[in-house]
A = this chain, B = another copy of it.
Amino acid sequence: MGKYVFGVDVGGTTVKLGLFDAEGNLLDKWEIPTRTENQGEKILPDIAESIQAKMKEKKLEKEMVAGVGLGAPGPIDAAGTVYGAVNLGWGTFSISDTLSGLVGMTVKAGNDANVAALGEMWKGGGRGCRNMVAVTLGTGVGGGIIVNGGILTGACGAGGEIGHIHVEDNETEACNCGNAGCLEEYASATGVVRLAKRMLTATEEPSMLRERPLEKLSAKAVFDAVKAGDALAVKIAGQFGEYLGKGLGVIAGVVNPEMFVIGGGVSKAGEILFDYIRPPFDRTVFKGCKDVKFALATLGNDAGIYGAAKLVLE
């Protein structure tokens, strides 16, 4: 097996690329634009060209490289076939076969959230775990489940889509997915803002969150207020924690992980999140699954390229 490996993380506006050695040391990191026009037909050729240029620059021959791993936003099965990626313009085709044909090396591909979870297990907050659930609290809520050291892909690449588990029967506002009452509606950055707006509208209780207009509220502002001891913000964090803690309790009962690794923008609030997630988790989780550690993700936006590289080295 080659001594080097490329990890690629395809996003809607930029493609991140990394060159790693087989021990997982990141040797070089760069970005190229994602050209989504014409059903994203240029994306894989652009990636191939960029990898070949890097190999020339670093004087790497193909036999020195174990392969290319790639994560992309969409359902991707274990064989590397993507079943439509709206943000990239892609339909259904084999990423592995197409990119492998272009670079002449082994290519493995997976869903970006799943691949990022693998990265966090390998070199991030979940280091040393073989059974782990990564939870990304960003604009939405994403997830990736690692079972026995590998990604739980599922029947059609939708394994770990934990943002859309149903947690509230009484929700009237629709989620982006079309359902109502999904975890994402309360535990994402926009979800925290939703909870805050509702709480601020429903009561007249004083709060430092009232010092700015409602439309300028952010998850960060809410958790900053929590840290400052604002009682209303604490109640909002409590609601967030109830939804997320109980949701993670269910997930723990299903897949029995050693650890939850929490990342994404909301996780920048830090370990204070666990003060709100852990009590409802502990109260509702099956006792046989309760010895779960909670940790913060550590790789940030690099989790995707780390995990993509690991896909090849598995």
Which stretch of A20-28, A57-65, A157-165 is in the interface?
A: A157-165
The CA-CA distance from A147 to B154 in the complex, in Å, is 7
A287-B254 in contact (CB<8A): no
The CA-CA distance from A151 to B148 in the complex, in Å, is 11
A239 to chain B, nearest CB (A): 13
Nearest B residue to A283 by beta-carbon distance?
Answer: B179
B165-A291 in contact (CB<8A): no
Give every chain B residue within 8 A of A255 (Cβ-Cβ): 145, 152, 154, 159, 254-255
Give every chain B residue within 8 A of A130 (Cβ-Cβ): 155
A166-B246 in contact (CB<8A): yes
B250-A166 in contact (CB<8A): yes
Interface size on A, residues (CB 8 A): 45
A289-B257 in contact (CB<8A): no
A256-B131 in contact (CB<8A): no
Q: Which of B75, B159, B166 contacts A249 (CB 8 A)?
A: B166
A181 to chain B, nearest CB (A): 7
A257-B287 in contact (CB<8A): no
Type the 1/0 row for A136-176, where 1 means its CB is closer than 8 Å to any CB of B: 00000000010110001111111111101110000000000
A156-B250 in contact (CB<8A): no
Judge whether A202 is part of the interface by a CB distance below 8 angstroms. no
Binding site for B on A (CB under 8 A): 75, 78, 130-131, 145, 147-148, 152-162, 164-166, 177-179, 181-182, 246, 249-251, 253-258, 283-289, 291-292
